Amino acid sequence: MAVITQSNTEIVRGMYDDFNEGDIDAVLANMAEDIEWTEPEGSTYGGTHESPEAVLENVFEPVMDDYEEFRVECERVIDGDEMVVALGTFYATPEMGERIESPFAHVCELEDGRITRFVNYTDTALWQ
């Protein structure tokens, strides 16, 4: 039986697809146990979260509670082997407010098919 492996860019692209489909368990499964997930300071979820459980509790669950709609559209991926940069747009509609469209750059570092470090760069003023 052949083993099928995904490239790092496929793993990162798949993470966005899984998130948008609501398969948070699949997103978490692509994270290393000691992941460093950094959201921008000045944002509601700002800071570094150091496990898949911390990302779930401090980023994903609050996002799902705070927004009626939240999509992360990856438009371009730059393959740097163990470092992958994803460029795209957040589309979010808060419970009470106008839709937000915010560009992002995500820097992902991977080792052995797992994301070990993730940094979100986005315009935090748009989210205020």
The answer on pLDDT for 3 being more than 70 is no
Alpha-carbon distance of 128 to 114, in angstroms, equals 32
Mean pLDDT, residues 36-46 taken together: 90
**Who has greater pLDDT, 66 or 88?**
88
What is the structure's pLDDT at 59?
Answer: 96
Verdict on whether the full-model pTM lies above 0.75: yes
**Widest distance between CA atoms in the chain:** 52
Q: Are the CB atoms for 78 and 87 separated by under 8 Å?
A: yes
The answer on pLDDT for 2 being more than 60 is no
User: Average per-residue pLDDT in the chain?
Assistant: 92
% pLDDT > 90, the chain: 78
